[in-house]
Structure formats: C-alpha cells, structure tokens
Amino acid sequence: RAGQTAASPLRPAMTPEERYSALAAADRDALLALADEILAAEPGPVSVLEAPTAGIGALRLPSPADGSFVVGHVVLTTGAVMLDGQRGDGIRPGRDPQGALAAAVCDAECERHGPRAGTVDALVARTRDAQRAEAAATARLVDATRLGAPA
C-alpha cells in the first residue's frame, strides 16, 4: 500500500494508508451510498478478493515511556475487492461486513483513478476534518482541566 496519491486542486495529496484510515472512520451511510454509486456506474469487473472477516485488533494509546501500550481490544471487519483490475482494501470498526466492502470499493476507485475518485477524496477530506475538529475539542477539554488553567 506504499505510494502517494497524485495531488491536484481537487485531489489533495494523501497516502493510501491515510485514505484507508479515513474510510474506516467515515460516516457509514455516506460510505455505503458512495460505494453503491461507484458500482451502479458499471466500473467493469468486480470481485470479492477477501470476504469480510471480523477479527480483534489491539487498541493502542501513545506512551511517553516506550511508544505505546495496549489498553484493550476492539472488533474490526476487513475485506478486499478487485474493481476493474485494481485492488481495494477496507476496514471498519465493529462487525460491519457491508461497510468493509464499501470502503474497499472506494479505495479501489481511488487506486484506479476512476471517475468518482474525487467524490471518495471529498468523503475522506470531510472525515479527516471531522477527526481534527474532534481532536481539537478534546484537547481544549483536557487543557481546561489542568491546574492553573485559565477559567
């Protein structure tokens, strides 16, 4: 999954890993609708390479001492598709076989530079913006709890 997506005014540069991560967190309804739109456009041959599989992954938090530590485990669903000769991979939290395949379809659409790749990029950008806003809000709440913090 190494590589970089080409940048353009409509397609900000991002790695496939960043796209994969954002699709994992994207709004489920928007993700399913976009995958349906991609498939409805008859993009060429489509096949499931890896059926959706639920498994357990470690939830890690950063640690200043040794990098990170495991705080628990979460259920994740993964899957992979081949879309018009291009592989796409998807992962979603929980047991979400439809979501994992939808993320894989969107990933493949970007990898093949398909006609709806820009729409996938827009969903990824919205998701990343929401994640940044949530992280900033959390940071403000944490900062407000520090001793000596302005009231």
Average model confidence (pLDDT) across the chain: 89
* Residue 139 pLDDT level (bands cut at 50, 70, 90): confident
For 4-30, write each residue's pLDDT tens digit: 444 444 545 788 999 999 999 999 999
Give yes or no for a contact between 47 and 30, defined as CB atoms under 8 angstroms apart. no
From residue 128, alpha-carbon distances to 40, 56, 80, 91, 121 in Å are 26, 24, 22, 16, 10
Is 72 in contact with 48 (CB distance < 8 Å)?
Answer: no
d(CA 79, CA 53): 6
φ, ψ dihedrals at 56, nearest 5°: -115, 135
Indicate yes or no: pTM above 0.85.
Answer: no
Contact 11, 117 (CB under 8 A): yes
Tokens representing residue 33 in the block? 């609708």
Task: Quote the longest CA-to-CA distance of the chain.
Answer: 61
> If pLDDT is split at 50, 70 and 90, which confidence band does 150 have?
low
